[in-house]
Structure 1
Amino acid sequence: MSNIYSIASSALQAAQIGIATTGHNIANASTPGYNRQVVIQASNPAQQYSFGFVGQGTQVATVKRVYDQFLQQQVNAATSSKSELDTYASQITQVANLVADASAGLSPAVSDFFSAFSTTSSFNRTDIISKAQTLASRFQSLQGRLNEIGADTNGQITSSITTINGYAQGLAQLNDAIQKAEAGGSSNGPPNDLLDQRDQLVTQLSQIVNVNVVKQGTAYNITIGTGQPLVLGSDAQVLQATTSPTDPQRVEIAISGANGSFTQLGENAIQGGSLGGLLQFRANTLDVAQNQLGRVAIGLATQFNNQNKLGLDLNGVPGGDIFSVAQPSVAPSSLNTGTGALTASFEPTTGGNTGVNALTGSDYSVRFDGTNFKITRLSDGNATTTATFPVTVDGVVFDMPSGTPNANDSYLVRPTANGASAFSVASTDPAKIAAAAPISTSVPSTNTGTGKISAGSVDSTFVQGSVVAGTPLEFSFDSATNTLVPNAAMAAYPITATINGTATTYPAGTSVPYANGATYSFGGMTVSLSGTPGDKDVFDVSLNANPVGDLRNSNLLAGLQDKKGLIGGTASYTDAYAQMVAQIGNKTAEVQTTGAAQTALLAQATAAQQSESGVNLDEEATNLLRYQQTYQAAGKVMQIASQMFQTLLTIGG
């Protein structure tokens, strides 16, 4: 009889546990990270009699959570990727909207500035200065907004680090609690709710950074990014927001090590999640936008200044700088132990792919290995190795005029990073606009032929002062030899004659052949001669004595707008800016499209995981009814056993 009671009692207990577990599932149907639990029953060992074995009821072997590690890892990976892309998209959209704005962007200001250089008598110097100031304000405004976005990115990186540390500490504590809960072996059963909490923390951590979980015993060992250990059993490492050794305005990440020390992590060491998205955005979009905007500013200011210096201003003196130009930024690492003082400056532009024309918009790392310096272009990893300075790379002259570096000393060189913020009007005096050309040409009235000379032009090799007032450079035509004979003032210059498209350079002081329509270049000056000169006819090149009303250099200044003077002679200022806008726009579209696809992948992974581990209320209602019926049936067994016992007592009495 006691056997029947025992069997019924075990059934009642199992049904009670089943009802409690089902109720627990229903109560946590909406709890994030909860995995449904099921009761695993096993029959009690049967008792042997002479006629055979009689069952002894049931027992609850364990309460098991329905969990698939592979599906959960898929969810975590998809969560990390989606969070990274969402964060990148949110940040880059700000930059895309800024640079592409039709009214607040750079292109309208550049067009307005150059449109002020009228080729007519309406030439207005005051208007030029006003629009130059507007252009400078636009450069500074764009750079200021990019700086604000950079500061916000630094703040978000710091906040993410704090959150990661909190999760790491929580995971370490859960590892410890789970180890203690399971210390008694399988007889205690798994601490399902603690396991769920730990897995949910891993998922939340994967929203911030890529997570890799390696199970060791009952503990999770967790690495982040490209393998940096974050949690080892019950020990949690600490991340710290630190200042870059080469840029005090840049937040970087360090991880704790032995003896309380911290090791700086490279920017590529942290990947995935919102933190990875922030770091990718800063390195691949924000830095690039600042550098490319600075390249446009430096190119425009330098080329405008150079052209202005080739002309004469309203006072008849050579022009000067109209715009201020930022020099390359050089930052030695705070970890350097040597005294080497690296400098960087822009190479003079001498035509072709030199000077600002050669600027790439990249930053450069310079590292000394004890023997050689390695200059690495950070945009693509291209490296130049040199044992001595100065050396020119991409239009930038690297030099170390003083000090001695030690092995492993490093420097960060940012040629264009400050170009837009430092762009300003250096001279607000309208008279300083050098609209006139520095030279004028003439033919004396005593000439007997029909020979003519063009107004003349100068190029970047022209040196102000090489033409002296009252001492003209002069060709004299010799009809017997059909040559042009230079006078003493011109004898210092080799002369390049271009006849029918063929250029030939003649030594200084020698006669050159004459041809109708030919051009002659010397000392940075170029003139064209035409007609039929008479014997001893002369052609003079003199200092421009009447700059008022002369707009030859003004026309050249205006022409800079369309000149292909950037990116190796392939782009104008507006072209270079448009390329930057297009690059950012394309990257924005790419990130948004990839993000949408990743959202769908996360939804699929989550659906697969929930179909396995999620709570289905219909299923739980069915289970509840089944356990209720089991409970009622077990109660009936006990009732019958009780009646049988009473009957036996009555018979015995």
Structure 2
Amino acid sequence: MGILSIGVQALQANQAALQTAGNNIANVNTVGYSRQRVILETVPGQFTGGGYIGKGVNIQTIQRNFDAFLTRQATLTASTAAADVTRADKLKQLEGIFGGGANGLGASISDMLNAFSDVASAPTDLTARTVVLTRIDETAARMRAASQSLDELQTGITQELSQKVDAVNSLARNIARLNQEIAKVNGNGQPPNDLLDQRDQLVRELNQYVQTTSIPADDGTVGIFIGGSQALVLGTNVSPVSLVKDEFGDTLKNKLSINRNGVSIPLDENNLGGGEISGLLRFQNTDLNEGRNLLGRLTLAVSTAMNNQNKLGLDLDGNPGGNVFTAASFGAVNILQPVPPAILNTGTSNLSLGISDVTKFVASDYEVNFTSGTAGSITRRSDGVKTAFDFGTTNPVVIDGIAITEGNLGGAAAGDRFLLKPFSTSATNIASQFSTPRALAVASPVVGLMGSTNTGSLQQVGIVARDNPPTNVPVTLTFTGPNSYTRSDVAGTFTYTPGQAIQGTEPATTPLSQWSLTLQGTPKAGDTFAVRAITDPTLSVDVKLNAGNATAMMNLRDVAMFDGAAMTDGYAGLISQIGIRTQSANYAATVSTSIAGNLEKDRAGVSGVNLDEEAAKLLQYQQAYQASAKMIQIAQNIFDTLIQGLGR
């Protein structure tokens, strides 16, 4: 009977091996399936005087080929790649919004400013004036179109985030369900391979959305943690995630939050690691926000500079100019609204914004932190630079060309915070302000007149109004020599330097006021130069034929405005900054995708099914099965012979 028993055991073992190999072949294309193999063990032999006699084979277990380290590394790198690829794809869309060429926003700004050259040549030509207004309207339309495209991109990201958060919660619930099933069968001493494969695959899918850390428990379940240490799944319990606004209630930003026992816990974006949600959040809260700020800065600087300059001129009817674009509007979000009462500021202070100097704008949001009723620090979020302030000493506080005024002075409480977003919505409703060409203020309110008896080589380079109308004219400069002059409005002798501007006030004010005059050449003693209002009745000057302000508008092209670059180069700088981000993100995505692919190959090399290998095993197990069957046949023959012998 010993050989019969050994044969039966061998037959069963090889049958299991054949079945397992067949199962491997059947699941060669099943996602998440790990190759299995039968682990056999020798049955302890029976002792006899002649030694131990073998008693056959047992099936110890069905083992899945699984490497925990490779699986963890492949999952982690795939999560990182998912974040990088997602961000890179969105940055490509952002880059596409800011197109170049003749149809780009930069070209429209240049065309708008260049159009003033024709008006400067023929200030009464209504056709030339109409072209300027058309260019202004086109520029405003392109600014609005870019802003609307950013809004559409924002809406799409919000929808994607919502869908992916739902997917995370669904996967977490399925992992918890599998945890329960695995825990139930964990006590039988054999691993539930298929259930383990299913759970591992769900974990891999979960990491495509958000990077996780898995910690196994003694009962066979696994804990899933996100954001560093927040438990998403513990055993069979799930803490769902959701999207919430940040602590300032900023409608343009989202944070991932986990809900535990009814309490929402916002997760630090920097601790999320990889995953598509992390990539989307980083793009939305950083890249897209910078894109908005860059566009908003460009819009606010150009429109404000144009408005201010047009107000310094006179239209065809001799009236002071108005805005050519809609007036600037700022966004200021503070912790008082719309955050629920549990985390409100405790003070009563409020902040308002104004423009100090458009040439100093930085494309950034600002966080104001009070340490007392009037003092604290302002953090420029784009680079983290902090600036101390004290409204009690200086109100408003000026930073990067933005004037911040504290209302209800001293009403802030220590710990109160405000988020200032001066540029995020500047381009949303930008439009040309008027449509009549006569209202374009191209005439300068001040003119310069050379003395009729001058004998030197004095020449006027340019005269620019700083106020409209200037209140200190007429002013006569009388030169006492080649390098000095006196003024009719201020006592004293002043130094003359060719090409250096002479300001309307002495000493010059900050900001400049009245007018600015630039002369060149060498005057002789007794030479004069007069600054007059163009509306001075003693002058025989037709205001309609003056184009001084048109020239000033055209000269805005070369004003250093955007990080030292000229106004007409501002859009090129915007494209450059977005392009650098996109290039960097593409490189990161390429590298992380390559690393993830290599590690996945390594993991698949251990856990994946090799059809050639399995086919060879089938032949091996088939021969062993046939030999086992032959062993049973021989045992049967021996038994039959024995029975026949006993029958005699």
TM-score higher than 0.5 here? yes
Distance 1:564 1:498 in 2: 25
* Aligned CA-pair RMSD: 2.9
Distance 1:17 1:149 in 2: 56
| Displacement of 1:575 | 1.8
Which residue of 2 is the match for residue 497 of structure 1?
A: 495
Which residue of 1 is the match for residue 76 of structure 2?
A: 77
User: What secondary structure does 1:499 align onto?
Assistant: coil
Does residue 409 (structure 1) correspond to residue 416 (structure 2)? The answer is: yes
User: What secondary structure does 2:122 align onto?
Assistant: coil
Instruction: Identify the range of structure 1 (365-374 vs 41-50) with the bigger mean alpha-carbon deviation.
Output: 365-374
Give 5+ residue unaligned stretches, structure 2. 536-541
User: What secondary structure does 1:247 align onto?
Assistant: coil
User: What secondary structure does 2:425 align onto?
Assistant: coil
Distance 1:66 1:475 in 2: 95
Distance 1:527 1:583 in 2: 36
After TM superposition, list the pairs within 5 Å mapping 1:587-606 onto structure 2: 587-606=581-600
Which residue of 2 is the match for residue 562 of structure 1?
A: 558
Which residue of 1 is the match for residue 237 of structure 2?
A: 235
Distance 1:214 1:628 in 2: 41
Which residue of 2 is the match for residue 393 of structure 1?
A: 399
Which residue of 2 is the match for residue 150 of structure 1?
A: 154
| Displacement of 1:379 | 0.9
| Displacement of 1:302 | 1.4
Q: Give, as a single letter, the amino acid of the residue that structure 1 aligns with 2:307.
A: N
2:322 to 320, 323, 328: 320
Q: Give, as a single letter, the amino acid of the residue that structure 1 aligns with 2:515.
A: G
Does residue 381 (structure 1) correspond to residue 384 (structure 2)? The answer is: yes
User: What secondary structure does 1:174 align onto?
Assistant: helix
User: What secondary structure does 2:206 align onto?
Assistant: helix
Cα distance change of structure 1 residues 443 and 628 upon mapping to structure 2, 3 Å threshold: closer
Cα distance change of structure 1 residues 498 and 549 upon mapping to structure 2, 3 Å threshold: same
| Displacement of 1:639 | 1.3
Distance 2:136 2:572 in 1: 20
After TM superposition, list the pairs within 5 Å mapping 1:252-271 onto structure 2: 252-258=255-261, 260-271=262-273
User: What secondary structure does 2:245 align onto?
Assistant: strand
Which residue of 1 is the match for residue 436 of structure 2?
A: 429
After TM superposition, list the pairs within 5 Å mapping 1:183-194 onto structure 2: 183-184=187-188, 186=189, 189-194=190-195
User: What secondary structure does 1:320 align onto?
Assistant: coil
Distance 2:625 2:520 in 1: 116
User: What secondary structure does 1:424 align onto?
Assistant: coil
The question of whether the paired residues in 1 share the 8 Å contact of 2:222 and 2:234 is answered with yes
Which residue of 2 is the match for residue 551 of structure 1?
A: 547
Which residue of 1 is the match for residue 66 of structure 2?
A: 67
Task: Tell me the TM-score normalized by structure 2.
Answer: 0.88
Cα distance change of structure 1 residues 51 and 483 upon mapping to structure 2, 3 Å threshold: closer
The question of whether the paired residues in 1 share the 8 Å contact of 2:486 and 2:493 is answered with no
Cα distance change of structure 1 residues 267 and 396 upon mapping to structure 2, 3 Å threshold: farther
User: What secondary structure does 1:148 align onto?
Assistant: helix
Instruction: Identify the range of structure 1 (166-175 vs 331-340) with the bigger mean alpha-carbon deviation.
Output: 331-340
Which residue of 1 is the match for residue 180 of structure 2?
A: 176
Does residue 47 (structure 1) correspond to residue 37 (structure 2)? The answer is: no
| Displacement of 1:557 | 0.5
Cα distance change of structure 1 residues 75 and 485 upon mapping to structure 2, 3 Å threshold: closer
| Displacement of 1:294 | 0.9
Cα distance change of structure 1 residues 221 and 531 upon mapping to structure 2, 3 Å threshold: closer
Q: Deviations over 1:565-587 (max 9, x none)?
A: 232xx112332211221222232
Q: Deviations over 1:271-327 (max 9, x none)?
A: 311111111222332111110111111111111122222222222233222222333
Cα distance change of structure 1 residues 494 and 611 upon mapping to structure 2, 3 Å threshold: farther
| Displacement of 1:65 | 0.5
Cα distance change of structure 1 residues 496 and 67 upon mapping to structure 2, 3 Å threshold: farther
Cα distance change of structure 1 residues 441 and 601 upon mapping to structure 2, 3 Å threshold: closer
Distance 1:305 1:494 in 2: 36
Which residue of 1 is the match for residue 214 of structure 2?
A: 213
Q: Give, as a single letter, the amino acid of the residue that structure 2 aligns with 1:136.
A: A
Q: Give, as a single letter, the amino acid of the residue that structure 2 aligns with 1:526.
A: L
The question of whether the paired residues in 1 share the 8 Å contact of 2:179 and 2:236 is answered with yes
Which residue of 2 is the match for residue 630 of structure 1?
A: 624
The question of whether the paired residues in 1 share the 8 Å contact of 2:303 and 2:328 is answered with no
Which residue of 2 is the match for residue 540 of structure 1?
A: 530
Q: Deviations over 1:57-110 (max 9, x none)?
A: 110011111100111122112211221122112211111122124244211211
Q: Deviations over 1:408-430 (max 9, x none)?
A: 43221111111222322223332
1:525 to 516, 541, 557: 516
The question of whether the paired residues in 2 share the 8 Å contact of 1:494 and 1:522 is answered with no
Which residue of 1 is the match for residue 539 of structure 2?
A: none
Q: Give, as a single letter, the amino acid of the residue that structure 2 aligns with 1:498.
A: Y
Cα distance change of structure 1 residues 646 and 532 upon mapping to structure 2, 3 Å threshold: closer
| Displacement of 1:251 | 3.3
| Displacement of 1:529 | 7.8
Give 5+ residue unaligned stretches, structure 1. 349-354, 510-520
Distance 1:168 1:578 in 2: 46
The question of whether the paired residues in 2 share the 8 Å contact of 1:441 and 1:540 is answered with yes
Q: Give, as a single letter, the amino acid of the residue that structure 2 aligns with 1:466.
A: T
Cα distance change of structure 1 residues 340 and 392 upon mapping to structure 2, 3 Å threshold: farther
Does residue 450 (structure 1) correspond to residue 455 (structure 2)? The answer is: yes
The question of whether the paired residues in 1 share the 8 Å contact of 2:478 and 2:487 is answered with yes
User: What secondary structure does 1:102 align onto?
Assistant: coil
Cα distance change of structure 1 residues 539 and 621 upon mapping to structure 2, 3 Å threshold: closer
Cα distance change of structure 1 residues 504 and 330 upon mapping to structure 2, 3 Å threshold: closer
Identity of aligned residues (%): 31
Q: Deviations over 1:494-549 (max 9, x none)?
A: 8753236789999979xxxxxxxxxxx995332538677686x7643221132212
Which residue of 2 is the match for residue 7 of structure 1?
A: 6
Distance 1:266 1:495 in 2: 64
Cα distance change of structure 1 residues 252 and 293 upon mapping to structure 2, 3 Å threshold: same
Q: Deviations over 1:1-53 (max 9, x none)?
A: x2222111111111121111111111111111111011110011111223222
Which residue of 1 is the match for residue 304 of structure 2?
A: 302
| Displacement of 1:399 | 2.4
Instruction: Identify the range of structure 1 (496-505 vs 32-41) with the bigger mean alpha-carbon deviation.
Output: 496-505
Which residue of 2 is the match for residue 418 of structure 1?
A: 425
Cα distance change of structure 1 residues 265 and 390 upon mapping to structure 2, 3 Å threshold: farther
Cα distance change of structure 1 residues 649 and 206 upon mapping to structure 2, 3 Å threshold: same
User: What secondary structure does 2:496 align onto?
Assistant: strand
Distance 2:230 2:276 in 1: 17
Which residue of 2 is the match for residue 338 of structure 1?
A: 346
Instruction: Identify the range of structure 1 (191-200 vs 201-210) with the bigger mean alpha-carbon deviation.
Output: 201-210
